[in-house]
Amino acid sequence: MKLLLDQNISFRVAKKLKSHFAVVEGVRECGLYNKDDRAIWDFCRQNGYTVVTFDEDLFDLTILHGPPPKIVWFRTGNLSNDQIIELLIRYKATIEFFIQDNSMELDGCLAIYQNGTVHL
């Protein structure tokens, strides 16, 4: 399981999650800093990453073109780095299931909401 944290998520989050997820990188580590959403989406599609983002545009690209990549989309408003880390760790099993299971007809997006609920 490979996660790419979009540029609206601090590289510090990736560093703190490395002990919890097999691969977690920020856009800067992948040479994508300040690239547009399509470039990030294409990179993830070609390299097997799931995107973690606050950005609706990446979700729209997946709806338009279909997964991969899959999207973990925070629908929460602004969160601190610690809050992002806590939510990703709390929902790790759900995220892993979402990424690995291709038998269900999922829209390619796992949404995490302000109240802590998750929607596939």
pTM value is 0.93
Rounded Cα–Cα distance for residues 86 and 68 (Å) = 25
Residues 22-37 have pLDDT tens digits of 999 999 999 999 999 9
CB 84 within 8 A of CB 21: no
Strand ranges in the chain using DSSP code E only, listed in sequence order: 2-5, 23-26, 50-53, 71-75, 109-113, 118-119
Mean local confidence (pLDDT), 39-53: 97
Secondary structure tally for the chain: helices H, strands E:
5, 6
Distance, CA of 16 to CA of 23 (rounded, Å): 12
What pairs with residue 119 in β-bridges? 111
pLDDT in tens, 69-120: 999 999 998 999 999 999 999 999 999 999 998 765 567 899 999 887 888 7
